[in-house]
Chain A
């Protein structure tokens, strides 16, 4: 029975992770500050530009992407991103170009580098540590010992349970 449960759990976990992979790109919030005329006529290029803009910070704002900000600087940056895309840059080249000009501060998704390892891996390290602790909790107390838990019922308690269950003593 236990092995059956475990294989089921494994299958469950696998499907969970498949869903996670599928949904990992979901991002809440659909805000924007675009003005007419900024938007590229080619919908493929425009959607690339939108995706990149969502990852770039408006430098003069408090915690807004350039998609969301109507500050002039954000508008300049939106236009810059679109210029580079129209000129045939890949997504990576556009980002490199922007970072070279404005510094890493402009990225809302910090790059994975030694100085951001703790940021990126931190949450998963916590998850792992917590999981290890939980597993140890089970190791200390084997499920086999469940049967030995507690003291047997006293005669009194047995009678009371019998009464509650409606059985005569």
Chain B
């Protein structure tokens, strides 16, 4: 009964979404305020209906109702409760239901927070949101319905892919979709603005919080996915340039560009047409990502839901929205008025360069991901495009951007003095040089590369500090006055500096692990020791262990550093009998500055009879934790920026505190 309620609510939600589309797109044309007001209610109703639907599916998973095919195929009565619940979106049908639920939540949030939006713009935005919702809900109802029953009811389920039974991955999809789907709001705003024929500073101010929230969510989602790959796949790597990773990186890069170009529209009224295009592209890349992952058109470790027929349906949706939006853009964009002017050296130009490099790096990822597919389709030739390609195209395009980041916020709007800006950054440059030189003489191995990388990371972090110091005019007046300015500094300024520092922290991690990772693969017998980095590992032996739905060989290692015991590591080789799949559970001991990482391999007969040797892989990954810390810091920056009054969704027109504005532009003064 409960699954039928869920099914029914799903179909109702489709109807409501269709109504919302009609009202939102026709209401403003008729100028009927009541019709337009109804779009907001439709958006709320859609959330309620889809929540009911989602709750019904969750209930079926929780009580292990195996008469529902989806539950039968993806769950098992012995599975821990956490994974019964997260299993709801650990499969194709459930994940698409989550997708449309999050879409509806974003739509209702626009309705709820957007009280200061002009009626017609709001109705049109909700109309476009409704259209996206209707099309995807139709897809769920017709092609990936999670509520279909099975008869007779099987006694037990076939279990969720054990690789997905993991806390890191459990919450990866909701955040990732928060990002993908959050970008739909920017898309809807862009489409609505094109229909209205007006893009102004207010438009950018409304769009930016949504783009920022989506960006933050996407960042968390990608970081969780990468973290999961790092500890669950047991290869010691965290980014593989896998097509599905690329599918999430592309919208992230485009969203990053969008955040920055929207600032120019908001502050200076320039780059309007480009920003609208970028909003369309960012969501288009999200749709492309959904298509690539859901259709299984690119095989990869992530393609656990391979189904080409559904792929065709999503491809149709993809062409409809991207093609439609681009056609609308081609038709309406020329009517947008050109905005403010600026000199080649100015904050605006810095943001243009940012967009230039981000766009080109997105293109590198896009081309690298799709090229083998297209080439095979056109000429039948099979080629592989792997990490070496991305390292020699993406990396050189993104590096200049990293070097230019500290300049951006220091440049004045309209026309800046490059020399003076460079002079203000001397402290960061000195810091970078010092760190680079220290690294050159301390670290063995590939010293020049590592030193240059660490110098760039320092440059980014120090640059962020200099930016704040400059804004409060530190050392250029009484200290107390600077502290006062610090208190008055708008949160968006803090957000920028913190997010940019986060990029630096991330670079520290990437450089550290790239240049300094050590790996040892040895056959070990109980009692033997190996050294890895500054650590010494003693193999204590292997014991049998069993979990709720798996059995495992669990190895024990005592970890010593400088003779002192600092902890135990217990890597496992698990076997899930229901899914008939083995997994490796790496054991990781992490400090903020390094990881020691152990994986237990297969047993081998020992030197003498009765003895067993185990293959042991041990890694020492210096600075690895900073990769995730960097992501957290970036997200922190975006959250602080989101809490800024000027950006707050639905905030009334800003009241100017008498002294706030000069401080905002302190760097340009």
A49 in the interface (beta carbon within 8 A): no
B486 in the interface (beta carbon within 8 A): no
Interchain CB contact under 8 A, A108 and B235? no
A45 in the interface (beta carbon within 8 A): no
Cα A115 to Cα B377 in complex, Å, equals 13
Contact with A along B378-413 (1 / 0, CB 8 A): 010111111111011111110110011000000000
> Nearest-CB distance from A59 to chain B (Å)?
9
- In the complex formed, the residue of B with least CB distance to A17 is B400
Which residues of chain B are near A143, meaning CB under 8 Å?
341-344, 415
A19 in the interface (beta carbon within 8 A): yes
Cα A120 to Cα B357 in complex, Å, equals 17
Which residues of chain A are near B367, meaning CB under 8 Å?
118-119, 122-123
Q: Identify which of A12, A20, A55, A124 contacts B388 (C-beta below 8 A).
A: A55
Q: Identify which of B242, B452, B514 contacts A27 (C-beta below 8 A).
A: B514
Interchain CB contact under 8 A, A130 and B418? no
Interchain CB contact under 8 A, B453 and A29? no
Which residues of chain B are near A20, meaning CB under 8 Å?
396, 399-400
Interchain CB contact under 8 A, A116 and B397? no
Interchain CB contact under 8 A, B388 and A109? yes
Which residues of chain B are near A149, meaning CB under 8 Å?
340-341
Interchain CB contact under 8 A, A30 and B619? yes
Cα A35 to Cα B417 in complex, Å, equals 58
Q: Give the residues from 63 to 111 in chain A that come closer than 8 angstroms, CB to CB, to chain B.
A: 63-65, 68, 103-110
Known: A30-B517, A119-B368, A126-B359. A23 touches B417 (CB 8 A): no
Contact with A along B576-587 (1 / 0, CB 8 A): 000000000000
Contact with B along A5-33 (1 / 0, CB 8 A): 10011001100110110111111111111
Interchain CB contact under 8 A, B519 and A35? no
A134 in the interface (beta carbon within 8 A): yes
Cα A126 to Cα B361 in complex, Å, equals 9
Stretch of B6-14, B194-202, B210-218, B296-304 contacting A (4+ beta carbons < 8 Å) = B296-304
Interchain CB contact under 8 A, B514 and A63? no
A62 in the interface (beta carbon within 8 A): yes
A146 in the interface (beta carbon within 8 A): yes
Interchain CB contact under 8 A, B452 and A22? yes
Interchain CB contact under 8 A, A62 and B299? yes
Cα A106 to Cα B382 in complex, Å, equals 9
Number of A interface residues, CB 8 Å?
64
Interchain CB contact under 8 A, B384 and A23? no
Which residues of chain B are near A36, meaning CB under 8 Å?
521-523, 615
Interchain CB contact under 8 A, A8 and B519? no
Q: Identify which of A16, A27, A30, A106 contacts B403 (C-beta below 8 A).
A: A16
Which residues of chain B are near A109, meaning CB under 8 Å?
386, 388-389, 392
Cα A146 to Cα B342 in complex, Å, equals 7
Most buried by A among B381, B404, B658: B381
Q: Give the residues from 43 to 57 in chain A that come closer than 8 angstroms, CB to CB, to chain B.
A: 54-55, 57
B258 in the interface (beta carbon within 8 A): no
Contact with A along B279-322 (1 / 0, CB 8 A): 00000000000000000000111010000000000000000000
B352 in the interface (beta carbon within 8 A): yes
Q: Identify which of A1, A119, A130 contacts B385 (C-beta below 8 A).
A: A119
> Nearest-CB distance from A116 to chain B (Å)?
7
Cα A25 to Cα B344 in complex, Å, equals 32
- In the complex formed, the residue of B with least CB distance to A140 is B338
- In the complex formed, the residue of A with least CB distance to B404 is A16
Cα A126 to Cα B362 in complex, Å, equals 10
Interchain CB contact under 8 A, B375 and A115? yes
Interchain CB contact under 8 A, A110 and B514? no
Cα A126 to Cα B359 in complex, Å, equals 8
Q: Give the residues from 406 to 459 in chain B that come closer than 8 angstroms, CB to CB, to chain A.
A: 414-415, 417-419, 422, 448-449, 452-453, 456
Interchain CB contact under 8 A, A32 and B383? no
Q: Give the residues from 117 to 145 in chain A that come closer than 8 angstroms, CB to CB, to chain B.
A: 118-120, 122-124, 126-127, 130-131, 134, 137-138, 141, 143, 145
Which residues of chain B are near A138, meaning CB under 8 Å?
344
> Nearest-CB distance from A56 to chain B (Å)?
9
Known: A29-B239, A35-B615, A104-B382. A8 touches B418 (CB 8 A): yes
Cα A107 to Cα B393 in complex, Å, equals 16
A39 in the interface (beta carbon within 8 A): yes
> Nearest-CB distance from B254 to chain A (Å)?
13
Additional A-B contact list (13), CB under 8 Å, known A35-B521, A108-B388: A5-B418, A22-B448, A24-B391, A25-B391, A25-B449, A31-B240, A35-B615, A64-B301, A115-B381, A119-B375, A127-B397, A141-B341, A146-B415
In the complex, 30 of the A-B residue pairs with CB atoms within 8 angstroms, ordered by the A residue number, are A5-B417, A8-B418, A9-B418, A16-B403, A20-B396, A24-B392, A25-B391, A26-B395, A26-B511, A28-B239, A29-B239, A29-B387, A30-B513, A31-B240, A32-B235, A32-B236, A36-B615, A39-B521, A54-B387, A62-B301, A115-B375, A115-B379, A118-B367, A119-B375, A122-B363, A123-B368, A126-B360, A127-B356, A143-B344, A143-B415
Residues in B lying within 8 Å of A, measured CB to CB: 235-240, 242-243, 299-301, 303, 338, 340-345, 352-353, 355-357, 359-361, 363-364, 367-368, 371, 375, 379, 381-389, 391-397, 399-400, 403-404, 414-415, 417-419, 422, 448-449, 452-453, 456, 510-511, 513-515, 517, 519, 521-523, 601, 615, 617, 619, 621, 658
